[in-house]
Structure 1
Amino acid sequence: MPENTNKLESIQALRGLAAMLVVMFHFRTDLASYFPLASWIFAQGAIGVDLFFMISGFIVYYVTVNESGGLKSSTVFFTKRLCRIVPPYVIATIFIAGNSWDKWYLALHAFTFLPADITQPAPFFGYPRLFVGWSLNYEFVFYSICSFSLIFRKYKYFIITLIISCSVLFPFITHGYGFLLPKINYGYHGYLALITNGMMLEFLAGLIVGYIAINFRLYYSRIVGRAAVSLAALYFTYIALSFGSNPGNGNYDFFSASFFLILTLTSYEYQYGIKAPKLLISIGTLSFSVYLMHPHGLSIARKIIARHYHGLHSGLIAFLLALTLTVLFSLIFYKLFETNLCNLIRNKLIAKCNKQALL
């Protein structure tokens, strides 16, 4: 059976929310120069990354639930995932690669999806040339695990669960660290540093959400469903506004808030349907381009203001200019690279894979 291709409005809306949270988290300093509360309101905007990770886990279940082609399914899945993230990430990084060998080395190293510096605090392990790329390292590892697991056909989700849970929990138990799994740096090198980090559990949580939402009926009435969604949204807002006791990427607050929001929304959509705000849907469609382009928008805006304007409310003007540039860059980047170029590369590679399978 073919994979699911219809886009769920709840997932698209959550993508849009995640992108907005990350953007505002990085833009908050400039806005706070005019609106001081921005530092507090968007201080935990990094939760958008946790939301993205769980969405990725959900989508993997959603698009592979009917896949049973073994090695062929594995090859096609990995090809599609690579074509989805690699070309845009490479191009976005090249834009800021720099003019020295040291800077280009950092840029080229980023394309391996390896941690930039394993001596730095987890879960980031240093930042690549395009700093948001640290999260794509985890995405690459997760997709690699999923691709391998598809070889095992009906046991694919068991294999994914086994690999991730054992990779994260075994070193945690043997080393006897505290509770904050994502903050532990075992000193492991390469992909081992990523696969043993607690952030990987968020992908697994998204996978579990997909299984529950698609296979179980959680609500026995619309009222119950709406109440559950409302409570999850309130809890997510509570954590995002810094009222939690354990914030941070991968930590309990970010994990639980993202989990319940995705679970309640997707389950409701599967049972009763949903009409998400068009703005969130639009941002969700552009979310990957927004994620890659907003550092460029912020950097250019700050440089322009620093060189040409030193008057009142310069921070606010830089913020508004950064938002404008982010929207413009994202629209262009999405059209040229995320869709046209990625689809071209993907179609050629998939055609090649299918041709080889027939030989």
Structure 2
Amino acid sequence: MLISIQVMRGFAAILVVFYHIYYISKLYSDYNIRHFELLHLGVDIFFILSGFIMVYIINKGDSFSNNMILKFLKDRIIRIVPLYWFFTIVMFLSYIFIFDKEKSIIELLKSLFFIPYYDSFSFGIYPILGVGWTLNYEMYFYFLIIISIYLFRSNYFKPLVLSMVLISVFGYFIIDDNTISNNPFIYTYFNHYLLEFCIGLIIGHLYINYNIIDKIRWFCFLFFFIAIFYSNYQFLYNLIISSCFFVFVLSYERKLKENSGKISFLIYLGSISFVLYLIHHPLLSILGKIYFKYFNFTNIYFFYFLSLLCIIPISIIVYELYELFFNKIRVYFNASKKIA
């Protein structure tokens, strides 16, 4: 994988963590810094990353056969499902036995199988593990890719991008303030977030097939700061900011690779980013309650420090255990194949 992509994975995860630290701080105090709303850009960067990575992976494939589609699906499921299911079930049990909140088996099943539903408690389309709402979009994106490759094979790119743009445009006209509660399927599957996956696909296509990324580096740098300066925190500004940031960092791939030893922690942060993303919010919820009880949020910035001090080491431990477990499984299956 490209070094710049790993760095941006880690950076996006940290942005999301900071956003949720900021959000929890607001719950317990009068703390409010308007520009900190931009920390939500971590999610936008993640979606663009997903689009880029998918076109990059597909381009490295040898064929566009049904076997390739099955392998693609298997790889995506292995990467996302085990960890997500594990922490979703842990969160489900925590709601019942620790937080004394009602959660039904139907909600659990919908969460596990990435089926969007409206949660009246949080007033949004949130599964049991809150950050899983982004994985609903992720899995939908994978579904669209599989359909496009199955129908168009090596010519999948243009139909995929066009269909995603049309779906988003159609969603602009049919989604209103009531859609989120009345029809979570429409809200999710016709949402403008698809455009961010689309941007990632287009950037990936340009990166692979045209020598243009380096040439537009400073153009993106300029637009990045203009968009931040005029940002009203709406989707269009988020799209411009995250896209320009993505292209700018990507354009330094060669230099980042040459200096990979100096940024090894950032690269490693990219490796643990998915674990970090999954577990940080439940941990922050617990830390927020403890910090409020004993410190009353008198020093908010110490809460930032304490949160990172807890979340990053725990994420590292979980990631290393997960890798150790799956490496043993890979060794076992490879040995089984040789015996057979």
Question: TM-score, normalization: structure 1?
Answer: 0.77
Structure 2 Cα separation of the partners of residues 350 and 199 of structure 1: 39
Q: For the Cα contact (< 8 Å) 1:286–1:334, is it kept in 2?
A: yes
Task: Give the counterpart letter for 1:253 in structure 2.
Answer: Y
Match of 1:288?
Answer: 274
Match of 1:51?
Answer: 45
- Single out whichever of 340-349 and 39-48 deviates more from structure 2: 340-349
Question: In structure 2, the residue corresponding to 1:103 is in which secondary structure?
Answer: coil
Mapped pair 1:322 → 2:316: no
Decide whether aligned partners of structure 1 residues 331 and 247 sit closer, same or farther in structure 2, where only a CA change above 3 A counts.
same
Structure 2 Cα separation of the partners of residues 10 and 320 of structure 1: 26
Structure 2 Cα separation of the partners of residues 116 and 164 of structure 1: 22
Structure 1 Cα separation of the partners of residues 96 and 113 of structure 2: 20
Question: In structure 2, the residue corresponding to 1:107 is in which secondary structure?
Answer: helix
Structure 1 Cα separation of the partners of residues 41 and 191 of structure 2: 17
Mapped pair 1:86 → 2:81: yes
Task: Give the counterpart letter for 1:282 in structure 2.
Answer: Y
Structure with higher helix content = 2
Task: Give the counterpart letter for 2:320 in structure 1.
Answer: K
Shift of 1:332: 1.7
Q: For the Cα contact (< 8 Å) 1:296–1:326, is it kept in 2?
A: no
Match of 2:190?
Answer: 196
Q: For the Cα contact (< 8 Å) 2:172–2:191, is it kept in 1?
A: no
Structure 1 Cα separation of the partners of residues 31 and 119 of structure 2: 35
Q: For the Cα contact (< 8 Å) 1:127–1:134, is it kept in 2?
A: yes
Q: For the Cα contact (< 8 Å) 2:203–2:247, is it kept in 1?
A: yes
Shift of 1:252: 0.7
Q: 1:76 aligns with which of 58, 71, 82?
A: 71
Decide whether aligned partners of structure 1 residues 218 and 298 sit closer, same or farther in structure 2, where only a CA change above 3 A counts.
same
Decide whether aligned partners of structure 1 residues 335 and 129 sit closer, same or farther in structure 2, where only a CA change above 3 A counts.
same
- How do residues 229-244 of structure 1 correspond to structure 2 at under 5 angstroms? 230-231=221-222, 234-235=225-226, 239=228, 243-244=229-230
Decide whether aligned partners of structure 1 residues 94 and 279 sit closer, same or farther in structure 2, where only a CA change above 3 A counts.
same
Mapped pair 1:258 → 2:255: no
Cα RMSD between the aligned structures? 3.8
Mapped pair 1:108 → 2:143: no
Shift of 1:229: 6.0
Decide whether aligned partners of structure 1 residues 191 and 35 sit closer, same or farther in structure 2, where only a CA change above 3 A counts.
closer
Match of 2:158?
Answer: 158
Mapped pair 1:336 → 2:284: no
Structure 1 Cα separation of the partners of residues 166 and 330 of structure 2: 32
Q: 2:179 aligns with which of 166, 181, 185?
A: 185
Q: For the Cα contact (< 8 Å) 1:16–1:283, is it kept in 2?
A: yes
Question: TM-score, normalization: structure 2?
Answer: 0.80
Structure 2 Cα separation of the partners of residues 349 and 159 of structure 1: 37
Deviations 1:275-313 (A, max 9, x none): 464443232221111111111221221232344x24683
Mapped pair 1:99 → 2:99: no
Shift of 1:190: 5.9
Shift of 1:153: 2.0
Structure 2 Cα separation of the partners of residues 351 and 211 of structure 1: 38
Shift of 1:149: 2.3
Question: In structure 1, the residue corresponding to 2:38 is in which secondary structure?
Answer: coil
Task: Give the counterpart letter for 1:131 in structure 2.
Answer: G
- Single out whichever of 271-280 and 145-154 deviates more from structure 2: 271-280
Aligned residues: 328
Structure 2 unaligned blocks of 5 or more = none
Decide whether aligned partners of structure 1 residues 310 and 269 sit closer, same or farther in structure 2, where only a CA change above 3 A counts.
closer
Query: Among the aligned pairs, what percent are the same residue?
Result: 31
Structure 1 Cα separation of the partners of residues 180 and 31 of structure 2: 37
Q: For the Cα contact (< 8 Å) 2:291–2:303, is it kept in 1?
A: yes
Match of 2:199?
Answer: 205
Task: Give the counterpart letter for 1:231 in structure 2.
Answer: L
Decide whether aligned partners of structure 1 residues 188 and 203 sit closer, same or farther in structure 2, where only a CA change above 3 A counts.
farther
Question: In structure 2, the residue corresponding to 1:135 is in which secondary structure?
Answer: helix
Shift of 1:44: 1.6
Decide whether aligned partners of structure 1 residues 269 and 191 sit closer, same or farther in structure 2, where only a CA change above 3 A counts.
same
Q: For the Cα contact (< 8 Å) 1:10–1:266, is it kept in 2?
A: yes
Q: 1:269 aligns with which of 253, 267, 288?
A: 253
Match of 1:167?
Answer: 167
Match of 2:129?
Answer: 130
Structure 1 Cα separation of the partners of residues 180 and 125 of structure 2: 14
Q: 1:218 aligns with which of 208, 212, 216?
A: 212
Q: 2:287 aligns with which of 301, 307, 312?
A: 301
Decide whether aligned partners of structure 1 residues 18 and 199 sit closer, same or farther in structure 2, where only a CA change above 3 A counts.
same
Structure 2 Cα separation of the partners of residues 154 and 140 of structure 1: 21
Q: For the Cα contact (< 8 Å) 1:84–1:342, is it kept in 2?
A: no
- Single out whichever of 84-93 and 266-275 deviates more from structure 2: 266-275
Shift of 1:327: 0.9
Shift of 1:50: 0.6
Q: 2:57 aligns with which of 63, 74, 83?
A: 63
